[in-house]
């Protein structure tokens, strides 16, 4: 069976150029964090079925490109991300 595409969005609608740097599923697989080169992390809420609507439930604008993500299993409501400028943040 053919599956749907999962489209991402730019941080700024006027700018269309960005790279998806990394993605990370939440420990319970109900959310997907997408780190992009345009200085943002989007968190998408996923449905239980692939055809369910995917929606942005959080966005974390940053001061530089997001280079890595980690969703700690012991803290499922916190997302840790690293920035190109050397900072580590929790969202």
Instruction: Provide the percentage of residues in the chain whose pLDDT is more than 70.
Output: 80
What integer is the mean pLDDT of 68-84? 88
CB of 38 within 8 A of CB of 15?
Answer: yes
Assign 3 a pLDDT band (cuts: 50, 70, 90).
low
- pLDDT of 6-60, one tens digit each? 667 776 666 667 888 899 999 888 889 998 888 889 998 887 776 777 788 888 8
Quick one: which of 55, 62, 52 has its CA closest to 83?
62
Q: How many residues does the chain have?
A: 91
Quick one: pLDDT at residue 80? 93
Contact (Cβ atoms closer than 8 angstroms) between residue 76 and residue 69: no
Q: Whole-prediction pTM value?
A: 0.78
Cβ atoms of 75 and 28 closer than 8 Å: no
Residue 58 is encoded by which pair of tokens? 């959080």
Give the pLDDT mean for 75-89: 89
């Amino acid at each position: 069976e053919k599956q749907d595409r999962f489209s991402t969005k730019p941080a700024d609608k006027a700018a269309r150029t960005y790279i998806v740097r990394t993605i990370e599923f939440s420990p319970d697989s109900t959310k997907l964090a997408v780190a992009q080169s345009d200085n943002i992390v989007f968190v998408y809420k996923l449905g239980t079925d692939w055809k369910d609507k995917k929606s942005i439930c959080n966005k974390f604008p940053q001061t530089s490109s997001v280079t890595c993500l980690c969703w700690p299993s012991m803290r499922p409501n916190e997302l840790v991300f690293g920035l190109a400028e050397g900072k580590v943040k929790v969202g």
